[in-house]
Amino acid sequence: MSLLFAPECTPFAIAAAMLAGLTVIEILAMLLGFSISEMIGKPHVPNTDGHEGVAGLLSWLNVGGVPILILILMALGFFAMTGFVIQAIANAFWAPLPALVASVPAILLAAPMVRASSRAVARIVPRDETYAVDLSEFVGRTAEVAIGPLDQGLPGRVRLKDAHGNWHSLRARAAKDQPPLAVGARVLLVDRAADIFIAVFAPDELLDTASSSLGENS
């Protein structure tokens, strides 16, 4: 346990603390109805004309394939984990390495871990950037309450697919005089104020239509 707070492990302890802090902030943000990950979005590989090595490295790490916050969290987590393991092994056989010396193999080991994990995450995370979808297109569509319940206070979140089959997570609140919309409830998006959608309970006939469409597509 003393190794965790040793000066030789300072970079890895800082990375672990940043990982924990960012995770807590993201959870609190989602409870308040928005997501830091969505606000940041996915990173774009910069124009690296004449620097093919840089472009290749960014592509190898799957930069642009998953939200940048997820990449940051994975990089911090794997760097901290490999660093502590390296120092624990070094301490068992001789003595902990200097922090700078231990950081080099930690980075080299963490990089392929980030790549492998980001490739797996990229298969799960919705690729909303594949098609440009105007927010107004979601008005009149049914969705499912993901974070709620929705009322007239702080917005929650609803999930729905666009015409291209991509999932979207949208901020929403219940319409005026509408009772709270519980998590899992099917709702109809009837209006929009900036980026916050107004939702009501979805009529039964719309739910039947949606179920029929899903059956045809499966």
Q: What is the per-residue pLDDT across 151-166, written as a single tens digit (0 to 9) for each?
A: 998 889 999 988 777 7
Res 45: pLDDT: 45
Does residue 132 carry a pLDDT above 90?
Answer: no
Res 163: pLDDT: 76
The pairing of beta strand 167-174 with beta strand 142-147: unpaired
Question: What phi and psi, each to the nearest 5 degrees, are found at residue 148?
Answer: -165, -155
**52 touches 110 (CB < 8 A):** no
Q: Once rounded to an integer, what is the mean pLDDT over residues 54-62?
A: 46
Q: At what angle do helices 68-93 and 99-122 cross, to 10 degrees?
A: 140
Q: What is the per-residue pLDDT across 70-96, written as a single tens digit (0 to 9) for each?
A: 888 999 999 999 999 999 999 889 888
Res 46: pLDDT: 47
Does residue 62 carry a pLDDT above 70?
Answer: no
170, two tokens:
């949208």
Question: What phi and psi, each to the nearest 5 degrees, are found at residue 185?
Answer: -70, 145
Does residue 143 carry a pLDDT above 60?
Answer: yes
Locate the domains of the chain by residue range.
Answer: 2-125, 131-217
Q: Once rounded to an integer, what is the mean pLDDT over residues 114-122?
A: 80
Q: Provide CATH code, domain 131-217.
A: 2.40.50.140
What is the 8-class DSSP label of residue 63? B
One-character DSSP codes across 9-47: GHHHHHHHHHHHHHHHHHHHHHHTT--HHHHH-PPPPP-
Rounded to the nearest integer, the mean pLDDT of the chain is 77
Top pLDDT among 27 and 113 is at 113
Q: What is the per-residue pLDDT across 192-216, written as a single tens digit (0 to 9) for each?
A: 988 899 999 988 766 555 544 444 4
160, two tokens:
């729905």
Q: What is the per-residue pLDDT across 174-193, written as a single tens digit (0 to 9) for each?
A: 999 899 999 999 999 999 98
27, two tokens:
């959870």
Q: What is the per-residue pLDDT across 1-29, written as a single tens digit (0 to 9) for each?
A: 567 778 899 999 999 999 999 888 878 87
Does residue 167 carry a pLDDT above 50?
Answer: yes
Least confident of 45-49, 131-135, 147-151, 179-183: 45-49
CA-atom Rg of the chain in angstroms: 22
Res 134: pLDDT: 75
Q: In angstroms, rounded to a whole number, what is the distance separating the alpha carbons of residues 155 and 187?
A: 14
Q: In angstroms, rounded to a whole number, what is the distance separating the alpha carbons of residues 122 and 128?
A: 12
